[in-house]
Amino acid sequence: MKKDLWSNPFERFASYWVFHDESIPNKQWLFIGLLFIHENHLKEARDCLQYCRQSENYYHEVHFSELPKSFEGKYGAKARVARRWFEAYEKGLADIAWFTALAVDRFSPAFDYKRFAKDFHIYNRFTAMALKAGIAWFLVPQKLDKVLITFVSDAKDRRSRPDKVLVDNFENYIPYRAEVDAFLSQTKGRPYPDVKVSLKLQESSKEDLLQLCDLLLGATQEVVVAGSNRPTKRELGRFVLRWCENLRRLPRERVPNMHRKFNLWAFPDEKGVPYNKVPFKLAINDHQLKLL
């Protein structure tokens, strides 16, 4: 715990909201996306997204999977809003809304299916892993003593109570695991704050930041998998591709510089550890073959 000028102890505390999404594009990959925003910046972030909506006069849900083929015309408004959101994110929204994506390679020889009795155990465990890594990457440099996380997930994607029957331990597991991970990190002597998680299930139709998280994850997935031929999805993917490739350059060469604002990593490699050099399948343009 820190001390002030008069040697009185004080606690460095922060409250963050973390918006969550997950995606399974194929049998190989599972993607987890988390968007970190300090509670003091929530209104600013939401106002930014709402301004983009007003520019297109479009107020329906915006999800990556539902993007139309074209940005043009009446039916392209959804895609134009998504593009405006990405432009805003690149030009400054990323300063207050930090995104991390974990790509889980289930075809890796080091991926151990036997550890997970049910599929939802896989999703939940790697969501907890992504949260721990996000806290370490985005928040630990702030030297906080305690962090309160409001963890927001799309209510319709959770399988917890379809008929008042509990079939997914997500709501209990994530808060519990976050506290355990904090304790284990501290006992190993690593700088890591105490963490308290309050989990909230929210209809994505009522929360633009959940929709932004969905779009960022979908575009990140497109970079790795290149599974869509829709020009709208590929264009959003190229925003993310540009960010990822810039992060592999020297700091002075990064334009835009998304360091500690956007992060993509994967797990496990052949040795069973995380890695950052995720292979990309999406090309810079549709006439270029990407070999990385």
- HSE, CB side, 13 Å, CA atoms: give it for residue 147: 31
Q: List, for residues 85-105, the tens digit of each pLDDT value.
A: 999 999 999 999 999 999 999
Question: Span 67-81, mean pLDDT?
Answer: 98
* pLDDT at position 286: 61
**In the chain, what are the domain boundaries?**
10-267
State pLDDT tens for residues 13-51: 999 999 999 999 999 999 999 999 999 999 999 999 999
pLDDT mean over 239-268: 95
Q: How far is CA 117 from CA 114, 121, 161, in A?
A: 7, 7, 20
Report pLDDT for 35.
99
In this prediction, residue 161 carries a pLDDT of: 46
CA distances from 33 to 1, 99, 104, 129, 286 (A): 31, 7, 11, 11, 26
**How far is residue 171's CA from residue 219's CA, in Å, rounded to a whole number?**
27
At 164 the pLDDT is: 45
As a whole number, the mean pLDDT across the chain is 92
Please tell me the predicted confidence (pLDDT) of residue 291: 38
Of 163-167, 220-224, 248-252, which one has max mean pLDDT? 220-224
pLDDT at residue 9, as a whole number: 64
Residue 41 has a pLDDT of: 99
Residue of 216, 31, 34 whose CA lies nearest to 105: 31
User: Would you say residue 5 has pLDDT above 60?
Assistant: no
- The burial class, CB within 10 Å (0-12 / 13-18 / 19+), for 57 is exposed
Residue 289 confidence class, pLDDT cut points 50, 70, 90: very low
Q: What is the pTM of this model?
A: 0.92
Side-chain-side CA neighbours of 261 within 13 Å: the count stands at 20
Four-point Cα dihedral 93, 45, 103, 24, nearest 10:
-130
- Specify the residue for token string 């968007």: 35
What's the confidence (pLDDT) of residue 131? 99
Q: Could you give the CA distance from residue 247 to residue 224 in angstroms, rounded to a whole number?
A: 16
The CATH code of the domain at 10-267 is: 3.30.420.10
- What is the pLDDT averaged over residues 260-284? 95
At 125-165, the pLDDT tens digits run 999 999 999 999 999 999 999 999 999 999 877 654 444 45
pLDDT reading at 1 higher than 90: no
What pLDDT is attached to residue 19? 99
